[in-house]
Amino acid sequence: MIDANRGIITGESLVGGIAVKGNGSDFKAWNPALNAHIEPSFHTADADQIDQACRLAGTAFDTFRATTDQERAAFLDTVAEQIVAIGDDLIERAMAETGLPRVRLEGERGRTVNQLKLFADLLREGSYRDVRIDSALPERAPPRPDLRYRLIGVGPVAVFGASNFPLAFSVAGGDTASAFAAGCPVVLKAHPAHPGTSELVARAVVKAVELCGLPAGVFALLTGVGNAIGQTLVAHPEIQAVGFTGSRFGGMALMAVAAARPQPIPVYAEMSSINPLFLLPGALKARGADIAQQFAGSLTMGVGQFCTNPGLVLGIAGPDFDAFAHAAAAALGGVAAGTMLTAGIAGAYQQGVAALAGQQGVKTLALGAHAEGKGGAALFVTSADAFLVEKALHGEVFGPVSLLVACRDVEEMRRVTDHLEGQLTATLQLEEDDYDAAATLLPALERKVGRILANGFPTGVEVSTAMVHGGPFPATADGRSTSVGTGAILRFLRPVCYQNLPQRLLPDALRDGNPLGIWRRRDGVLGKE
Ligand code: NAP
C-alpha cells in the first residue's frame, strides 16, 4: 500500500501500484538555488519496468474507460484531494528542486487542483462526448442506416513532465488530467529536474487509484535520466498518444520515434514560441511608458521560463517606439538576475543571449549580468529588414529575453507576421484608432497563432473552457489541439460510429431515451434531452 501523505521519497518508480527500484543509473536532484545535490538517490527505471508499466496500462484501459463519467470525475477529485493532503512537504521539495518561490508553487498547486476539478466538472456535464445520432430513414432511397457517434479514449497515454511547471504540467498536470478524463491510463515520465516532487505527487495519484478501486495500471511513474526511458516508452506498442512540454529538440526526437513505430501514434508536443507583441501606434502614443513597465514584468516573471513569454515585440519606428525601448530597457535594468530551473536551461539561455548580442544588425538595449545558474534580463532591437533575412532571430531563447523589431508601417508588421513560425500567442496593444490596423493583421495572426490577446500580456494562462494553449508548429506538434482548458481532452479521444447496432449493444449514452439525459446532436444542433 502506497503511503501518499507522509512526504516519503524513496527514489523509486511506481509501477502497478508499488514502488520498484530501477536498475538504470542512479542520480540525485539538484538544488539550483544552492548549487547542491539533494538527497535521496533516484534509481532510473529500466526496460522491464517501462514494459510492465505499459502492459499494465494496456490491461487497465478497458476497465478504466468503462467507468462512468461520474466515477472518473470522483477519481479526479480524489487525485486533487490527495495532492492537497501532501501538505507543505510538496511545496518545500518543489522549492528545493526548482528554485521557484513558495508563492508561485502554492499558486501552481492551486492551479493543478483546479485543473483536475475542471475536468471532473466536464465529465459530470457530459457534452464532451459529442454524441450525434442520425436516426434511420428506411423510406429514403437509398435507405439511411441508424448511425450513432461518440468519442472514446484512445488508449494508454505517455506523458512527459515539464521542467517549468513542476506541478501544473507534470505528474498530475493538465496532460494527465485530460487523459484520465478521457478514460486513458497514463504512464508518466518524470522530469529529471524535479524527481522528488514528481514522486510525491505520483504517490498521491496511486493512492487515489486505490481509493477509487481502479486497476493499478491506470497510472505509473517512471523516474530517471537519459533519453532511453522516453524513447522506449513512446515506442511501446501499448502507448497510443503522447503529451509533452519541453524543448523543440526533445519534442521532435519523440515525434520521430512515434512516426517510426509499426503503428505510428500522435505526439502532442508543446515546444517553442516567441509570442509576438504588436505595439500599434495609437497605443504606443497613449500608453507607451505603461506598456513598457508591464512588458518588463511579463518578460521577467518566473525568470522568463514560460512558454508564453513575450520574446518578440513589433512596433513602428519613430520617437514613440524609441521611448518605449528606452523605458523597457530601464525597467529591465532594475530586475535582478534570477535562479533558473536547471543548469542546462541557464547555460542554454546564456548562449542564446550571447548569440543574439553577436548578430549583425542587432543592438543591445539591456543586458543583465549573468551568474552561474542565473539568468539576467536582456533586450535587443533590430529592423524588420534584418529580421526578415535572419532566421536565427526567429527562434525561442528560453528565458527573460526579448527582441524589438522596428517596422516601417503596419504593412511591414504584417509582412513580418507572415514570416514568423507558428506561435502560442500574439498580443495586440491597441486603442480605438488602431482598430483598422489590427483588422489588417488579424487574418495573418489567425493563421499563425493559437490565442490572440488585446491589451494584455500572454503570460498567465487562464484554465477554462474557451482557452487555447496551442498553435501551429513549432508552438505545438499539432496546431489542431490545445493543452490547457477543457478542449485538451480532445487530444486523447477518437470517434466511433455504431451503425444499426441493437439497442442492447449500444453504449448507454447512445441508447434511445438515454437515462443520463446526455447531450445529443440532431440535425447539426447540440441540445440536452
Ligand atoms: P527537454 O530537454 O526537452 O526535456 C523534456 C523531457 O523530455 C525530459 O523528461 C527529458 O528527459 C525528455 N527528453 C528530452 N530530449 C529527449 C529525447 N531526445 N528523447 C527522449 N526524451 C527526451 O526540456 P527541458 O529539460 O524542460 O528544458 C530544456 C529546454 O526546453 C529549455 O531550455 C527550453 O528551450 C525548452 N522548454 C520549452 C518550454 C516551453 O513551454 N516552450 C518549456 C520547458 C522547456 P531526459 O533528458 O531524461 O531524456
pLDDT digit string (tens) for 152-171?
999 999 999 999 999 999 99
* The one catalytic residue among 12, 97, 238, 270: 270
Other Cβ atoms less than 10 A from the Cβ of 139: the count is 7
3-class secondary-structure state, position 73: helix
**Mean pLDDT over residues 221-235, rounded?**
97
Grid cell at residue 45: 527505471
Task: Read off the C-alpha cell for 394.
Answer: 526567429
- 3-state DSSP assignment of residue 454: strand
Tell me, yes or no, if 396 is annotated catalytic.
no
User: For ligand 1, atom 48, which residue shows the shortest CA distance?
Assistant: 227
- Cβ of 270 below 6 Å from ligand 1: yes
Query: How, if at all, do strands 147-153 and 132-134 pair?
Result: antiparallel
Does the beta carbon of 507 sit less than 6 angstroms from any atom of ligand 1?
no
Cα 304 to Cα 66: distance, rounded to the nearest angstrom = 42
The closest alpha carbon to 451, from 429, 422, 489, belongs to 422
Reduced to 3 states (helix: H, G, I; strand: E, B; else coil), residue 207 is helix
Q: Phi, psi (5° rounding) for residue 326?
A: -65, -45
Q: Minimum mean pLDDT among 186-190, 250-254, 367-371: which range? A: 367-371
> 225: Cβ below 6 Å to ligand 1?
yes
Select from 3.90.1170.50, 3.30.1370.10, 3.90.1150.10, 3.40.309.10 the CATH code of 276-454.
3.40.309.10
407: annotated active-site residue: no
Is 506's pLDDT higher than 80? yes
Q: Is the CB of 275 under 6 A from ligand 1?
A: no
Index of the ligand 1 atom closest to the CA of residue 396 = 34
pLDDT-derived band at 371 (thresholds 50, 70, 90) equals confident
CA-wise closest residue to 418 among 452, 392, 451, 384: 384
**Which atom of ligand 1 sits closest to the CA of residue 162?**
26
Query: What confidence tier does 515 reach under pLDDT thresholds 50, 70, 90?
Result: low
- Compute the distance from residue 248 Cα to the ligand 1 centre, in Å: 8
Helices (H), 87-173: 88-98, 102-125
User: Is 52's pLDDT higher than 80?
Assistant: yes
Q: What is the pLDDT of residue 265?
A: 98
275 pLDDT more than 90: yes
Bridge partners of 61, per DSSP, are none
Confidence class for position 322, pLDDT limits 50, 70, 90 = very high
Between the CA of 250 and the centroid of ligand 1 the distance, in Å, is 5
Answer whether 272 contacts ligand 1 (Cβ < 6 A).
yes
Q: Distance, CA 199 to ligand 1 centroid (Å)?
A: 19
- 307, 396, 412, 421: which is the annotated catalytic residue? 307
* Domain parsing of the chain, residue ranges: 4-271+481-491, 276-454
Using most ligand atoms within 8 A of CB, pick from 163, 270, 449, 483 the residue to mutate for ligand 1: 163
Task: Say which residue the cell 441508447 belongs to.
Answer: 511
Is the pLDDT score of 467 beyond 60? yes
Q: What's domain 4-271+481-491's architecture?
A: 3-Layer(aba) Sandwich (3.40)
The response to whether residue 306 sits with its C-beta less than 6 Å from ligand 1 reads no
Per-residue pLDDT at 521: 55
The single residue listed with the C-alpha cell 510492465 is 52
With 60 as the cut, is the pLDDT of residue 271 above it? yes
Residue 517 pLDDT class (50, 70, 90 cuts): low
Beta-carbon-side half-sphere exposure of residue 389 (alpha carbons within 13 Å): 8
Predicted confidence band of residue 287 (pLDDT cuts 50, 70, 90): very high
Per-residue confidence (pLDDT) for residue 7, from 0 to 100: 76
Position 370 scores a pLDDT of: 77
Q: What are the pLDDT digits (tens) for 56-77?
A: 999 999 999 999 999 999 999 9
